[in-house]
């Protein structure tokens, strides 16, 4: 017990030293504050996944009452004011990027519809705006189908279905992308900054030559490594929780359904895991530049293939298994979504936490082995 108390005291003192080093680095503190405040808010409010303010042009060669009614159906907030253009202006308007959609209504379109003759509409789409093109095309088809049904019925109506279909969107009833992107941005920031801070702390010790001071102190490699991980991960964890409450809940109005304490516990476990990964990358690099070149691709791969950006189910099966075996991020994303969105308790998410702990323990063992060889060789 006495030996354990000595080890804990050494870790605490070294952690305080790390915290003082972080506090002295003003640019790092500004980066952490910016990442968990301004960056989260701007990404949530600016990077919208749903279609809004789409630009559409109408080539009306029919000039009928139905064509005018169809044109009026494309209004805000889904569409901006409709641009009435001629057929000669289509190419220039789309080449310049002024219009994403152009709908051409042919002559005698209303007469052909009422007479039951075959006719058609042409919708030109600028597919370089991929999200708008995909979602907007679906909305435009639904609007056209509804207006044609109204025309044939002679009144405002909806397509009759043999069933009464009631759609209820759970956990995000307004289908607002900011509810998703704000929380996912916090998870991304936890991963990025924990890796960067822990790895940079080790590289900084080696570049400044202060690691030699540690070598003559009565401390062990595991104590030094734990202190760096606890201090840097702790700063990120505190910033993440403040961001979740102040920015996500208060500023953006995103409700948190589950327990903040449970999320903080899971985030602490995850931060410990990626901190070990940061130490491991720090032992593989000798300069800050090399560390950056190592950390950036690791972060990009872990985030893009974690389920935070695209569903895991859309990936190849072999890649899903690879990410779930070697990366703790997919398990943390599933844990966070379960707790924060669906209000899940520990009984529903304990398997994800167990997998994060297992992968983190493996990273820690490998990093400790490398740390002893590189620092204490």
Edge-to-edge strand ranges of the sheet holding 83-84: 83-84, 56-60, 101-105, 122-125
Q: Tell me, yes or no, whether 167 lies in a domain.
A: no
Same domain, yes or no: 217 and 307: yes
Q: Is residue 336 located within the same domain as residue 276?
A: yes
Are both 109 and 218 inside the same structural domain?
no
If you search the block for the tokens 């476990």, which residue do you land on?
269
Asked, for residue 159, whether it belongs to a domain, the answer is no
Q: How many residues does the chain have?
A: 377
Do 206 and 281 share a domain, yes or no?
yes
Backbone Cα Rg of the chain: 28
In-domain check, residue 165: no
CA dihedral 217, 220, 223, 225 (to 10 degrees): 100
Q: Is residue 284 part of a domain?
A: yes
User: Omega of the bond prior to 77 within 30 degrees of 0, cis?
Assistant: yes
Helix axes 177-208, 221-243, angle to 10 degrees: 150
pLDDT in the model for residue 155: 53
Q: Same domain, yes or no, for 277 and 304?
A: yes
In this structure, the answer to whether residues 192 and 237 fall within a common structural domain is yes
Whether residue 110 is found in the same domain as residue 211? no
pLDDT tens per residue, range 131-162: 777 888 888 888 888 888 887 776 544 555 56
**Does a structural domain hold residue 307?**
yes
Same domain, 346 and 224: yes
Q: Domain boundary at 153, 185, 216, which? A: 153
Task: Read off the CATH number of the domain in which 147 is found.
Answer: 3.40.1710.10
Q: Are 57 and 140 in contact (CB under 8 A)?
A: no
Range 111-121 average pLDDT: 84
Q: Which pLDDT band, with edges at 50, 70 and 90, does 15 fall under?
A: confident
Torsion of CA 324, 327, 332, 333, to 10 degrees: -70
Give residue-wise pLDDT tens across range 314-358.
Answer: 889 999 999 999 999 999 999 999 999 999 999 999 999 999 999
Q: How many domains are there within the chain?
A: 2
Rounded to 5 degrees, what are φ and ψ at 60? Answer: -100, 100
- Does residue 19 belong to any structural domain of this protein? yes
- The 10s digit of each residue's pLDDT in 49-102 is 666 778 889 998 888 888 888 888 888 878 887 888 888 888 888 888 888 899
Average pLDDT over residues 235-264: 94
pLDDT grade, residue 364 (50/70/90)? very high
189 and 126, same structural domain? no
The boundaries of the domain holding residue 113 are: 56-153
Within this chain, do residues 138 and 282 fall inside the same structural domain, yes or no? no
For the ranges 115-129, 249-263, 313-327, the lowest mean pLDDT is seen at: 115-129
Q: Is the pLDDT of residue 230 over 60?
A: yes
């Amino acid at each position: 017990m006495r030996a354990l108390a000595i080890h804990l005291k050494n870790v605490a003192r070294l952690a305080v030293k790390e915290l003082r080093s972080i506090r002295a680095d003003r640019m790092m503190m500004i980066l952490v504050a910016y990442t968990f405040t301004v960056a989260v808010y701007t990404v949530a409010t600016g990077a919208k996944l749903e279609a809004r303010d789409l630009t559409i042009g109408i080539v009306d060669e029919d000039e009928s009452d139905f064509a005018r009614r169809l044109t009026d159906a494309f209004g805000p907030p889904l569409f901006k004011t409709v641009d009435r253009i001629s057929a000669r202006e289509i190419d220039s308007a789309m080449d310049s990027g002024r219009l994403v959609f152009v709908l051409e209504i042919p002559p005698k379109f209303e007469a052909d519809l009422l007479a039951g003759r075959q006719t058609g509409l042409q919708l030109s789409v600028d597919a370089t705006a991929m999200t708008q093109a995909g979602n907007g095309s679906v909305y435009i088809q639904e609007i056209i189908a509804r207006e044609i049904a109204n025309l044939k019925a002679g009144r405002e109506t909806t397509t009759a279905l043999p069933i009464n279909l009631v759609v209820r969107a759970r956990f995000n009833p307004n289908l607002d992308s900011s509810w998703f992107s704000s929380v996912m941005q916090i998870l991304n920031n936890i991963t990025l900054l924990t890796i960067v801070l822990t790895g940079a702390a080790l590289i900084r010790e080696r570049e400044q030559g202060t690691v030699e001071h540690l070598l003559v102190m009565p401390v062990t490699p595991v104590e030094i490594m734990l202190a760096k991980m606890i201090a840097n991960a702790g700063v990120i964890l505190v910033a993440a929780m403040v961001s979740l409450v102040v920015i996500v809940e208060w500023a953006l109005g995103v409700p948190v359904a589950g327990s903040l304490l449970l999320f903080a516990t899971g985030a602490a476990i995850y931060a410990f895991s990626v901190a070990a990964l940061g130490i491991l990358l720090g032992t593989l690099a000798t300069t800050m530049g090399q560390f950056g070149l190592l950390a950036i691709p690791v972060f990009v791969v872990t985030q893009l293939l974690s389920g935070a950006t695209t569903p895991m189910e859309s990936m190849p099966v072999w890649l899903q298994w690879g990410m779930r075996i070697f990366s703790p991020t997919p398990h943390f994303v599933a844990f966070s979504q379960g707790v924060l969105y669906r209000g899940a308790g520990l009984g529903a998410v304990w398997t994800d936490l167990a997998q994060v702990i297992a992968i983190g323990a493996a990273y820690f063992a490998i990093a400790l082995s490398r740390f002893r060889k590189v620092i204490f060789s």
